[in-house]
Structures are given as C-alpha cells and as structure tokens.
A = this chain, B = another copy of it.
Amino acid sequence: MTSDPSAQPPVPPKGPLNGITVIDLTRVLAGPYCTMVLSDLGARVIKVERPKVGDDARHIGPFVKGKSAYFMSLNRGKESIALDLKDDQDRDIFLKMLENADVLVENYRPGTMEKLGLGWDTLKARFPKLIYAAASGFGHSGPYSKRPAYDMVVQGMGGIMSLTGHEGSPPTRVGTSVGDITAGLFTAIGISSALYHRAMTGEAQKIDVAMLDCQVALLENAIARYFASGEIPGPLGARHPSITPFQAYHAKDGYLIIAAGNDGLFKRLTEEIARPELAADARFTSNQARCDHVHELTTQLETALAAKSVEDWLAQFEAVGIPCGPINNVEQVLSDPHVLSRNMVVEADDPETGTLKMAGNPIKLSSFDDPPTRGPVPDLDAHRAHILNSFKQEQ
C-alpha cells in the first residue's frame, strides 16, 4: 500500500455528476458508501487518507492477498492521497484542493474538524461554493453529539433491533450495516439536492446527517403503530406487521415468501393451494381480519403448503401472478440471472489481487450507460502526483 507515482487516475463513469469533484475525508462505511454512490453517478472522488495507515477499512477483513476486500468493494474508482492535516505543508495542499472542489465529505466525530481549524464556519468563509457534508453517529447538535457511534450502537439505540427477530429470542442485528448505509444514502440525497440548489442559486451549505436519525426515519410503520395505539411494537419474526399474508411460510422442503396482502391475491392463493373456502372464512375476509387471526391463517396455509416443494409452489404462484419468492443466500443472489442481467455484480481490477466482484449501482439512468466495470481500487496515496498536478494553480 505504498505510493506509485505513475499510477493512472481512474476515470469516473459518465453520469449526472460528471464535473463534480468530491474531497473525501471519510473512513470505513457510512461516508465511503455515500461517496461510492456519488462516484457511480460520475463524480470524481478523491480520498484524503491518513499517512501510513489510511482508511481504517483497509485493515478490516476479509482479505485477499493481504488487501481488504471490504475496503476494495467500497472504494473502487476513487483516487487516493495521503495527507496529515496537522502538518502545515499537507494542510496547504488540502486547502488548495478545496479551492477547486465542489463537495467535502467527512464522517469524523463532531468537533474534530473544528479542532483541525477546518470547521464549516471557517471553510464557508473561505470557500463559499463548497458544499460540506458531515455524516456522524449522533449529528452536530444535541446531547449525544460528541459520543462515538458505530453501526451496532445505532441499530440498538434506534429501535430496529427491537423489531427484528423472534419473540423471546436473543437480540438480533439486521444482517447488514443499515445503520451506516442508510446514513450514507441520506447524505448522498443531501449532497445531490444541495448541488441542485447551488446550480440554481449559487449558494452552498452544510449537510448534517446523523446515523441515529436515519434509524428513526427507517422505523416507518412501527412509529405509526406506536402513536396510533400506544402499544410498543415487538419483534415480528418473518412477517409484516399489518399486511397478511405477507411472510415466510414453511413448505415441504423449506421456506418461501408469499406476499398476497390484498383480497384479490389472497383469494387467488387459496385457490392455488386448493383451499378456496379460506377466502370465505369470516376470520380471513379482509386484511384486518387476517391480521387479527394471523396465527390461525399461518397454520392453515402451512398445512396446505406442506404438500409441495418450495420450487414447485414458486413456479405455480409465479404463473398466476401471486407475489412470492425464495429465501436466497448470498451465493444464490449473486448468481441469479436477473440480478446479473441488471448489472448488479460489477468488477474492478487490482494489480495484486486481480479482478474483484462487487455490488453495482441500483440507479439505472437512461442518459448514461451502466458500465460492468469500475475503476481500480486505490492503493494508499496512489494518485498523489496526479492530484497535486490537477490542483496546481498560479498563486
């Protein structure tokens, strides 16, 4: 992970954010996920990393030939320069970069940028066109603002863990880092709408996104249920809280998902499983009635579903338009012909590890191709010469 001054910079894909330069101080996940989305949309993203150590994610597994595949999957196509923001010379380079940048993204704990003399108040005076985005655990205001946070912490504090899992089972984390990722997505929305606003008015601004706030924004239905009834929603196993049938059901050889929540779909389902009398049963004639008798209905449906395999039921239900699906593992998802046809598995090259596969961009745009490859993964400080050159200006 040493600097190769001859490394060619990646070329951002063609996209709506072409021409935008993002200076990226972020580490690990929420921030890098945000700037990956911006990069996929055509922005030039320049990672500014700590000398020698770099982004912490470089040291988090899984590793391929000594390099973090985790880091690589989040930072493909970005440029890298190592700068010590406490060093005067490096700091001058950084400030020179900001002069010609559109967006600065950081996910430090609030107060860190101010300690470096690089807080928003300072920067906005000097760079009035610079959009400043901060993604942090608890945000830049409020009593917990200065506390450290990671995904697990906000998943626990934000309520999603209280809704995930089975009644009586130990706590259950959502199997991916939704605490970080949703903060990355909301930050990307803030940045792109601020870019629009700047294009219309010339005005830049600061965007402050807290991971915990994003968890609250994810709770949707659970908030409505709590404020409507005063009852505290509990873990729901494998079903939707207010739509029935809408859950995982056991068939002969495993589970499948059936989501037949309206009366028409429910009737069709009862016919397909040869239990048409269920649609006329007073316990099941409306969605509300089905929700009120969900356990009885599950028993009835699973008794009928035990007759055939998951594969047979899925083929039958798909043929008549009943929303359904398998419960895929990661290997099945990543080899699914539909997922592959949507270009959701893309490739990036690395000189040492060779080609790596990673998730693609779910935003498909009619004006731009959705390339099957991404720029290479940057070694730490790999693009120093190019970056210094591109920001060089007459004083």
Whole-angstrom distance from the CB of A30 to the nearest CB of chain B? 11
Beta-carbon contact of A224 and B62 below 8 Å: yes
Q: Can you name 6 A-B residue pairings with CB atoms under 8 Å? A: A60-B243, A120-B366, A149-B323, A173-B240, A192-B192, A233-B329
Known: A152-B239, A161-B248, A165-B165. 7 other contacts (CB 8 A): A73-B223, A141-B364, A157-B336, A159-B332, A188-B189, A189-B189, A217-B362
Q: Is the interface of A mostly helix, strand, loop or mixed?
A: mixed
Residues of chain B with a CB closer than 8 A to A164's CB: 164, 172-175
A225 contacts chain B at the CB level, 8 A cutoff = yes
Copies in the complex: 2
Residues of chain B with a CB closer than 8 A to A334's CB: 159, 216, 223, 226-227
How many chain A residues sit at the interface, stated as a range, is 35 or more
Beta-carbon contact of B189 and A363 below 8 Å: yes
Beta-carbon contact of B166 and A61 below 8 Å: no
Q: Select the residue from A214, A238, A337 with max chain B CB neighbours within 10 A.
A: A238
Closest chain B residue to A19 by CB distance?
A: B200
A351 contacts chain B at the CB level, 8 A cutoff = no
Partner of A56, one of B154, B171, B248, B262: B262
Q: Given A61-B288, A70-B221, A262-B56, is A216 in contact with B362 using a C-beta cutoff of 8 Å?
A: yes
A12 contacts chain B at the CB level, 8 A cutoff = no
A101 contacts chain B at the CB level, 8 A cutoff = no
A382 contacts chain B at the CB level, 8 A cutoff = no
Q: Given A185-B186, A365-B194, is A327 in contact with B143 using a C-beta cutoff of 8 Å?
A: no
Residues of chain B with a CB closer than 8 A to A225's CB: 62, 69, 330
Beta-carbon contact of A16 and B193 below 8 Å: yes
Beta-carbon contact of A173 and B219 below 8 Å: no
* Interface hit among A88-96, A204-212, A384-392: A204-212
Beta-carbon contact of A240 and B152 below 8 Å: yes
Beta-carbon contact of A203 and B367 below 8 Å: yes
Beta-carbon contact of B73 and A224 below 8 Å: yes
Residues of chain B with a CB closer than 8 A to A187's CB: 363
Closest chain B residue to A61 by CB distance?
A: B242
Partner of A228, one of B64, B153, B195: B64
A287 contacts chain B at the CB level, 8 A cutoff = yes
A126 contacts chain B at the CB level, 8 A cutoff = no
